[in-house]
Amino acid sequence: MIKHIVMWNLKGETPDKKARAVHKLQSAFEGLAGRIPGLLHMEIGVDTSKADYACDVVLYSEFESQDALAAYAVHAEHLRVKQDLGDVRVARYQVDYEVIPVRDRAPA
Protein backbone atom coordinates (compact mmCIF):
# COMPACT_ATOMS: atom_id res chain seq x y z
CA MET A 1 0.00 0.00 0.00
CA ILE A 2 1.12 3.55 -0.74
CA LYS A 3 0.14 6.49 1.44
CA HIS A 4 -0.08 9.87 -0.27
CA ILE A 5 -0.17 12.95 1.95
CA VAL A 6 -0.48 16.48 0.60
CA MET A 7 -0.65 19.68 2.66
CA TRP A 8 -1.57 23.11 1.42
CA ASN A 9 -1.56 26.70 2.54
CA LEU A 10 -4.39 28.52 0.84
CA LYS A 11 -5.09 32.08 -0.24
CA GLY A 12 -7.46 34.20 1.78
CA GLU A 13 -6.84 37.67 3.14
CA THR A 14 -9.79 37.35 5.53
CA PRO A 15 -11.08 34.40 7.55
CA ASP A 16 -14.16 34.26 5.29
CA LYS A 17 -12.09 34.14 2.09
CA LYS A 18 -9.83 31.47 3.59
CA ALA A 19 -12.89 29.44 4.63
CA ARG A 20 -14.25 29.61 1.07
CA ALA A 21 -10.91 28.40 -0.31
CA VAL A 22 -10.87 25.52 2.19
CA HIS A 23 -14.43 24.55 1.25
CA LYS A 24 -13.60 24.65 -2.47
CA LEU A 25 -10.60 22.35 -1.99
CA GLN A 26 -12.48 20.03 0.33
CA SER A 27 -15.46 19.70 -2.01
CA ALA A 28 -13.27 19.13 -5.06
CA PHE A 29 -11.33 16.25 -3.53
CA GLU A 30 -14.36 14.69 -1.87
CA GLY A 31 -15.90 14.60 -5.35
CA LEU A 32 -13.21 12.13 -6.43
CA ALA A 33 -14.45 9.42 -4.04
CA GLY A 34 -15.32 6.26 -5.93
CA ARG A 35 -14.06 7.64 -9.25
CA ILE A 36 -10.37 6.71 -9.13
CA PRO A 37 -9.32 3.06 -9.58
CA GLY A 38 -6.89 1.92 -6.89
CA LEU A 39 -7.78 4.73 -4.47
CA LEU A 40 -8.65 2.88 -1.27
CA HIS A 41 -9.22 5.71 1.18
CA MET A 42 -9.23 9.51 1.26
CA GLU A 43 -9.59 12.05 4.05
CA ILE A 44 -9.48 15.83 3.97
CA GLY A 45 -8.47 17.48 7.23
CA VAL A 46 -8.73 21.16 8.05
CA ASP A 47 -6.26 22.58 10.56
CA THR A 48 -7.74 23.48 13.93
CA SER A 49 -4.49 24.45 15.68
CA LYS A 50 -4.17 27.87 14.03
CA ALA A 51 -0.41 27.64 14.69
CA ASP A 52 1.52 30.08 12.51
CA TYR A 53 3.59 27.23 11.04
CA ALA A 54 0.63 24.89 10.34
CA CYS A 55 -0.75 24.15 6.90
CA ASP A 56 -4.40 24.95 6.26
CA VAL A 57 -5.52 21.61 4.80
CA VAL A 58 -4.20 18.06 4.54
CA LEU A 59 -5.18 15.31 2.12
CA TYR A 60 -4.52 11.80 3.40
CA SER A 61 -5.05 9.01 0.90
CA GLU A 62 -4.17 5.36 0.46
CA PHE A 63 -3.55 3.58 -2.84
CA GLU A 64 -3.28 -0.10 -3.71
CA SER A 65 0.17 0.36 -5.21
CA GLN A 66 2.69 2.80 -6.63
CA ASP A 67 1.16 2.13 -10.06
CA ALA A 68 -2.30 3.12 -8.74
CA LEU A 69 -0.86 6.37 -7.37
CA ALA A 70 0.87 7.05 -10.69
CA ALA A 71 -2.41 6.45 -12.54
CA TYR A 72 -4.20 8.84 -10.14
CA ALA A 73 -1.64 11.54 -10.88
CA VAL A 74 -2.68 11.57 -14.56
CA HIS A 75 -6.34 10.60 -14.18
CA ALA A 76 -8.63 13.09 -15.96
CA GLU A 77 -10.74 13.75 -12.84
CA HIS A 78 -7.66 14.44 -10.71
CA LEU A 79 -6.20 16.72 -13.37
CA ARG A 80 -9.52 18.61 -13.50
CA VAL A 81 -9.45 19.10 -9.72
CA LYS A 82 -5.83 20.30 -9.83
CA GLN A 83 -6.71 22.82 -12.53
CA ASP A 84 -9.81 24.02 -10.67
CA LEU A 85 -7.79 24.56 -7.49
CA GLY A 86 -4.73 26.16 -9.02
CA ASP A 87 -5.81 29.63 -7.98
CA VAL A 88 -6.49 28.88 -4.29
CA ARG A 89 -3.17 27.56 -3.10
CA VAL A 90 -0.15 29.46 -1.88
CA ALA A 91 2.06 26.47 -1.07
CA ARG A 92 1.91 22.67 -1.44
CA TYR A 93 3.87 19.92 0.32
CA GLN A 94 3.76 16.21 -0.43
CA VAL A 95 4.98 12.90 0.96
CA ASP A 96 4.37 9.48 -0.63
CA TYR A 97 5.55 6.35 1.12
CA GLU A 98 5.16 2.62 0.98
CA VAL A 99 3.66 0.98 4.04
CA ILE A 100 5.96 -1.73 5.32
CA PRO A 101 4.71 -3.44 8.48
CA VAL A 102 7.18 -3.27 11.39
CA ARG A 103 7.45 -7.09 11.47
CA ASP A 104 8.65 -7.04 7.83
CA ARG A 105 11.33 -4.37 8.23
CA ALA A 106 14.99 -5.28 8.28
CA PRO A 107 16.71 -4.72 11.64
CA ALA A 108 18.61 -1.44 11.95
Q: Which structural domain range is residue 45 located in?
A: 2-99
Pairing relation of β-strands 57-63 and 89-98? unpaired
Structural domain contains residue 16: yes
Distances (CA, A) of 83 to 4, 25, 51, 54: 19, 11, 28, 24
Domain at 53, CATH number = 3.30.70.100
Report the domain count for the chain. 1
Per-residue pLDDT 10s for the chain (108 aa) are 999 999 999 999 999 999 999 999 999 999 999 999 999 999 999 999 999 999 999 999 999 999 999 999 999 999 999 999 989 999 999 999 999 878 887 777
Structural domain contains residue 75: yes
Rounded Cα distance between 21 and 91, Å, is: 13
H helices of the chain, where? 15-30, 66-74, 76-85
pLDDT of residue 67: 98
pLDDT of residue 28: 96
